[in-house]
Structures are given as structure tokens and as C-alpha cells.
Amino acid sequence: DVKVTQSSRYLVKRTGEKVFLECVQDMDHENMFWYRQDPGLGLRLIYFSYDVKMKEKGDIPEGYSVSREKKERFSLILESASTNQTSMYLCASAQTGNNFSPLHFGNGTRLTVT
């Protein structure tokens, strides 16, 4: 089974702090994604990456950046955390191929910014 591991289940940070959310997948997937989940809004894509050192903006990239130095790891960075970034953050990975393989998700990191 594919395993996507997010380093923290819960995080509490202060406004203005720099925050790192880490995600590691063990199936050699080319594609990795960061979504945030908010009640009533579903999942919204922040950034994604289709290869090492490659990144693409999603629908809500403002206030975030990402890093993908190794294939298995995709990091989300909040440069200066704000209270409106309090949310559940979900990392996912997917294999490139012709079978439209599904996304595999981690268990999420619930971030609270105070």
C-alpha cells in the first residue's frame, strides 16, 4: 500500500512565524500535492509538483511556498503565518501513467495559528 506520511498531526503556531509542513511518500510517485481543507469549501489546491525541483501554483498559493528537493518529499512553507491560514492541510501523491491513478492522501496536519 502507498503510504503518505505527514510529519505532524497537530501544530499550533503564532502569527508571523515561519511554518514548515513536511510530507513524505514511499511509492516513488512523480506527482505530489498540497491541499487545504475548510468546512463548506472542500479541498482547495495550494501547490503541486510533477517532478523534483518542479512546482506549479494551484488555486490558492498566496502566502505559501513549497520545496521539492527529493522525489519522496514535498514541503509546504508558510512564510509568515496568519490566522486565516488556520486549517487542515492534506498532502497527496499520484503516479504518472495512463490509468488515471488516484491520489493517495496523508492523514493531514491540523494547523492553528494564534
**Interface positions with another protein (CB under 8 A):** 4, 9, 31, 33, 35, 40-45, 48, 50, 58, 90, 92, 94, 96, 99-100, 102-108
Q: How far is the CB of 2 from another protein (least distance, A)?
A: 10
The amino acid sitting at 34 is: W
Nearer to another protein among residue 44 and residue 73 (C-beta): 44
Nearer to another protein among residue 48 and residue 64 (C-beta): 48
Nearer to another protein among residue 19 and residue 94 (C-beta): 94
Q: How far is the CB of 100 from another protein (least distance, A)?
A: 5
Q: How far is the CB of 17 from another protein (least distance, A)?
A: 24
Q: How far is the CB of 80 from another protein (least distance, A)?
A: 26
Quote the cell numbers at residue 35: 491541499
Residue 33 CA: distances (Å) to CA of 12, 14, 26, 71, 97 = 22, 25, 15, 12, 16
Among left, alpha and beta (phi > 0; psi -120 to 50; other), residue 49 is: beta
Q: How far apart are CA 18 and CA 25, in angstroms?
A: 23
Nearer to another protein among residue 16 and residue 102 (C-beta): 102
Q: How far apart are CA 70 and CA 68, in angstroms?
A: 6
Quote the cell numbers at residue 87: 486549517
